[in-house]
A = this chain, B = another copy of it.
Amino acid sequence: MASFRPLYDRVLVKRVEAEARSAGGLFLPEAAKEKPQHATVIAVGPGRLGKKGELTPLTVKPGDVVMFGKYGGDEIKVDGEDHVILREEDILAIIEN
């Protein structure tokens, strides 16, 4: 399988299915099309780029379950499955069980 290396502050995530989430019983979006979304972080960039070329590492890491807003991010397919790639600032929160 190919390795996917996001640049700078980009984060690759894979949506958590609504069914899977309901099973956990906790976070239910009201309407899929209009609501923030849950996802598992698959890969993260090396950090956000400062004005002098320095990198600030990201907070999220692979395996984190995150919630992101409905705007921002590009839909892509990796290994035939839907993923989203977005900037870390489009991620709203990390959800821990």
Task: Assess the B35–A75 pair: CB atoms within 8 A.
Answer: yes
**Is the interface on chain A under 10, 10 to 19, 20 to 34, or 35 or more residues?**
35 or more
Given known pairs A28-B80, A74-B36, A76-B36, the reply for A96 and B56 (CB within 8 Å) is no
- Closest B residue to A82 by CB, please name it: B30
Q: List 27 A-B contacts (CB under 8 A).
A: A2-B24, A2-B26, A2-B27, A2-B97, A4-B96, A5-B93, A5-B94, A6-B92, A7-B91, A7-B93, A8-B59, A8-B89, A10-B93, A26-B78, A27-B76, A28-B80, A29-B76, A30-B75, A35-B75, A35-B77, A36-B74, A50-B51, A50-B53, A51-B51, A53-B56, A53-B57, A70-B74
